[in-house]
Amino acid sequence: MSNPQPPDSESPSSDSSSSPPACSDNSSRGLLCGALTILAVASVVALAANSVRSSHAIDLQRDYFPKLPEFSTPEGNGDSTQPPGVTGTDPGDQVPVEPDDGIQRISFDDARDNFNSAEDEFEATGESIYLFVDARSSDLYEESHIPGALWLYHYESEALIDDLRPELEMAFFVIVYCNGGDCDDSLHLAADLSSLYGIPTENIYVYEGGLNEWVENQMPVISGSERR
């Protein structure tokens, strides 16, 4: 096979007597020059491609991992500050200890009760004050989601929010979920719903158990892009 290297390329680290062409990787200086060139070309191509792509683009300025500002909830406040479905007289039995990030969480029991209420209301009136929101990608949503759940992918929420805003604003209980486990997209979407999109914070809840826990408890799911 032919060898495209010049005769002095036996030792790549040795400089030839004549000056090598710019960024020739036969010298350590050329090695770095070549690496910097690759980095520069990659950066330009990456940023250009990101700016023109129609889907899966990353908004460089957007904070995808926001947290709600902390807010205080007076102890013993009325029902309006309780998670939906929590009606017991001893909150210690049902209200889990929440991280102090201002985001309200609900348990599986609450999520199930809200789902049943939502289904009953929907059957009776065609609408419901309970609204489940799926923060996962469209592929995962179409694979399976909680019946009636809106699809609002956290990383594309800016493009999706306008169409969904009326329904989000009408709901009293917006329950956001993702897969559960180490998935925290539901928390970030909940924070964005409040801080970026103006949905009242007190209406937003996160079901941290997510779809995995939902399925483990033999609750219904549907597949496809249709909500129901």
Q: Which residues bind another protein (CB under 8 A)?
A: 1-5, 9-12, 23, 25, 30-35, 37-39, 41-43, 45-47, 49-50, 56, 58-65, 137, 155, 181-182, 185
Closest by Cα among 202, 186, 200 to 134? 186
Which residue lies nearer to another protein by CB, 127 or 143? 143
- Smallest separation, CB 175 to another protein (Å): 22
CA distance 135 to 147: 14
- Smallest separation, CB 143 to another protein (Å): 14
Task: For residue 153, count other CB atoms closer than 10 A to its CB.
Answer: 19
CA distance 210 to 107: 10
Would you call 205 exposed, middle or buried from its count of C-beta atoms within 10 A (0-12, 13-18, 19+)?
buried
Which residue lies nearer to another protein by CB, 29 or 148? 29
Which residue lies nearer to another protein by CB, 58 or 170? 58
CA distance 82 to 203: 10
Which residue lies nearer to another protein by CB, 31 or 160? 31
- Smallest separation, CB 168 to another protein (Å): 22
- Smallest separation, CB 3 to another protein (Å): 5
Which residue lies nearer to another protein by CB, 171 or 206? 206
The one-character DSSP state at 103 is: -
- Smallest separation, CB 50 to another protein (Å): 5
Which residue type occupies 188? H
57, two tokens: 């683009």
